Structure formats: structure tokens, C-alpha cells
Amino acid sequence: MPAKKRKNAYVIVLGNEKGGTGKSTTAMHIAISLMKKGATVSTVDLDSRQQTLNRYISNRINYAEKEKLTIGMPGHHVIHQSNKPVLPEKHNDEAEEFTDLTQELRRENDFIVIDCPGNDTSLARLAHSLANTLITPMNDSFIDLDLLGHVDPETFKVEKLSFYSQLVWECRKNRAAANKPALDWVILRNRLSTTHAKNKKRMDEALKQLQNRIAFRYISGLSERVIYRELFPQGLTLMDLKDVNKKVKMSMSHIAARHEMRRLLSELKLPNID
Ligand SMILES: Nc1ncnc2c1ncn2[C@@H]1O[C@H](COP(=O)(O)OP(=O)(O)OP(=O)(O)O)[C@@H](O)[C@H]1O
Ligand SMILES: [Mg+2]
């Protein structure tokens, strides 16, 4: 029998330092979309407190069992919180577990999707340093924009870069020093509303100004749709609806949402994915 070819997984990290912008929802949708395209995918939840991705996948397992469905499951992993009382030792333990895990997952998968918490943790930093693509979902508001840098809402002048932008810049510098391929930083505009064209235009302008200072690209993003909240309890994604269409009825809004998700995947320009 020929030896199994070793893989070298491409790492996608969902990160920002603000809660509730859509990291876990997007992580799950990307993982399932990639699996639907035939890729081998593992997911890692680094949010040890909320464990949203973990819950999303548990819901999926339970729903599939209950409904006797055959739906794809990514290999899923959580990093356990170390019980060492001293902080540096605790961080070391967790970093070691994470490093060992990602090394193993790299060999076995085409993609690793890592979901970070909405705050700065040592594990999230480590994950950022491994990212080939970093996806930062943000809502279309000047509050969320502060996550990248402070932009004057009248003149659109960039006044200050955020700690988070500086962290990403450090990752880029370290990757370059280690001769690793450049990090692709993608800002994903989430929960877009069709009724606020003026705000959208102002955000466009502000993001353009920020792009002159920080290298990132921003992509069309996802609309505000109740379906994202509705799918969570069953652990489903928009990409599964065809497989379960006897249980969940497809509406026009679902079809539009799925189209949006497909466009998102294509705009990510991931390797070996058409
Ligand atoms: N495009 C969308 N339309 C409507 N609801 C959305 C959309 N994207 C995400 N949500 C909802 O917003 C809430 C927060 O999303 P999610 O948990 O993915 O964010 P997060 O960035 O992972 O949060 P945290 O930082 O707390 O981990 C969830 O209830 C989710 O269903
Ligand atoms: Mg989350």
C-alpha cells in the first residue's frame, strides 16, 4: 500500500479583540464549506470560557444523531485550561498543548480553522502567529473600527492604530523574519444592513484610509440575518440546508444567505479551493 501523503495544513484564524462580531459563526461556516468542497478540516476552539464553537459542534453531533443524518463533522479540538496556579506556568502548559496539537493537525488536514476569544489571551496570540489567513469580522460601526485604529468620523484621518493592529503587524514581521509566506489579513464586514447606505459609505471611506496605514483587505461580508442565530441550536450551517431540507424549509432569504457565504469563501482565495 502506498504511504499516506503528509499534508501541511493551511491555517485560518478567526480573531479580533471584540466580542460578538461573528468569529465563531463564521469559523463554523467556513469549516463546513471547506469540507463540502472535499477538504479535510479540523477546528480548534480557543475560547475556553464561552466555547461557542465547541457548543456549535456538540449541537451538530446531537442533531445528526437524533435525526439520523449523515452530515460532515470536522475533527474538533479544545485546549484545556491548565490548573497550574502560577500564570506563566499555566500559559506555558497551554501553549505546549496547543503547539503539539497544531503540529499534529497540520500533518493530517488540508485546513485548520482556529476560533479565538474576543479578548487578548496568550493562546490567541500564539494562534495569530500561525495564521496563513487571519479573518477579523467586524460590524459596520465606528466602534468596531476602533479595533483596527482610531479614525476621525468627520475627516476620516487615521489618528492612532489599535493594539490589535500592532499585534498583527508583529506577527507579520515575525513571519517575514522566519521566511514564512505573508499573512493574508481579511476584514469581514458582518451583519450588514441594506437600509444604512450612508453609514456603509462612511465605513468604506474609513477602511480605505486605514488600508493606507495597515495592510489588510476587506471583503463584501454577510448581511444581518436571523438564520445565523436559528441554525446554532441544531449545529447546522447554511451549507447543510440542502441535506436536511425535509427538516428545515429553505426560504428566499436562506438562498440569498448561502449565496453570500459562497461568495465569502471565494473571496478568501484559499489554496486549492475554487
Ligand atoms: N450575519 C449575522 N446576522 C445575524 N446574526 C449574526 C450574524 N453573525 C453572527 N450573528 C449572531 O451574533 C451572535 C454573536 O456571534 P458569534 O458568537 O459568532 O460572535 P463571536 O465573535 O464569536 O463572539 P465572541 O467574541 O463572544 O466569541 C450570535 O448570536 C450569532 O448567531
Ligand atoms: Mg466566539
CA of 21 to the centre of ligand 1 (A): 5
Helix, coil or strand: residue 192: strand
pLDDT of residue 4: 64
The pLDDT assigned to 247 comes to: 66
Whether pLDDT at 106 is above 60: yes
CB 116 within 8 A of CB 180: no
Average pLDDT, the chain: 92
Q: What is the pLDDT of residues 156-194, one digit of tens each?
A: 999 999 999 999 999 999 999 999 999 999 999 999 887
Residue 60 near residue 235 (C-beta atoms within 8 A): yes
Domains located in the chain, CATH noted: 10-268 (3.40.50.300)
Distance CA 254, CA 223 (A): 11
Q: Which ligand 1 atom lies nearest to the CA of residue 231?
A: 31
Q: Comparing 64 with 249, which gets the higher pLDDT? A: 64
Q: Tell me the pLDDT tens digit for each residue of 232-254.
A: 999 999 999 888 866 667 788 88
Question: Residue 260: which pLDDT band, with cuts at 50, 70 and 90?
Answer: very high
Q: Is the pLDDT of residue 195 over 70?
A: no
Percent of the chain with pLDDT over 90: 77
The CA 12 to ligand 1 mean position distance, Å, reads 18
| Predicted TM-score (pTM) of this structure | 0.95
The pLDDT tens digits for 25-63 are 999 999 999 999 999 999 999 998 899 999 999 999 999
Residues around the ion ligand 2 (C-beta < 5 A): 23-24, 52
**How far is the C-alpha of 39 from the C-alpha of 87, rounded, in Å?**
38
Q: Which of 17, 21, 25, 144 to mutate to test the pocket of ligand 1 (most atoms within 8 A of CB)?
A: 25
CA of residue 179 to ligand 2 center, whole Å: 31
What is the mean predicted confidence (pLDDT) over 227-235? 94
How much distance in Å is there from the Cα of 105 to the middle of ligand 2? 21
Q: Which of the two residues, 137 and 220, has the higher pLDDT score?
A: 137
Most confident of 81-85, 150-154, 235-239: 235-239
Identify the CA nearest to 29 among candidates 74, 95, 83, 96.
Answer: 74
Q: Among 17, 18, 24, 139, say which to mutate for ligand 1: greatest number of ligand atoms within 8 Å of CB.
A: 24
pLDDT at residue 259 is higher than 90: yes
Alpha carbon of 51 to ligand 2 centroid (Å): 7
Q: Which residues form ligand 1's pocket by a CB distance below 6 Å?
A: 19-25, 47, 50, 52, 117-118, 190-191, 222, 224-225, 228-229, 232
CA of 80 to the centre of ligand 2 (A): 16
**Best CA proximity match to 175, nearest among 7, 9, 11:** 11
